[in-house]
Amino acid sequence: MIEKPVAAAAEILSLSRSGKYETMNIISDILYQCNHNKAALQLYHYMTDRGISDKRYGIAQCHHRLGEYKSAVDVIQAGNKNSERYQFILGCVYMDMRRYDDAETQFVLDL
C-alpha cells in the first residue's frame, strides 16, 4: 500500500522530463489501473481541488471500486450527467446497488 501518494507523486514529478501535470495524470491513472484505489483517489482529488485537471470521473470510479456507492453517485451527479461515460459509470454503480431499473435507464441513455 502506498502511504503518501501525493508525496510519492511529487518525488516522481521532480525526476520526470514530462510536464508535471501530465506526469501526475499518468501516475494517478497507473495507480487506478493497479487497483490502488485509495491512492488514486487522493491524487484525483488533489488535481481536481487545485484546478489542475478535472478528475471527477476518476474519483467516481475509485469510489465505485471501494464500494462507496453513495459517494460515487454524488460525484457523478455533480459532474456532466449527460456525458456517455458518466451515464455508463452511473449505470454500473446502480447495478452494484441493486437499483436495476435505474441502471437500465442509464445504459439505455448511453446507447
Domain boundaries, the chain: 1-54, 69-111
Residue 81, SS3 per DSSP: coil
| Closest-CA residue to 27 (of 49, 2, 63, 51) | 2
pLDDT for 15 equals 60
**Per-position b or e across 46-57, b if 16+ CB within 10 A of its CB:** bbbeeeebebbb
Residue 92 reports pLDDT greater than 70 = yes
With 0.85 as the threshold, say if the pTM is over it: no
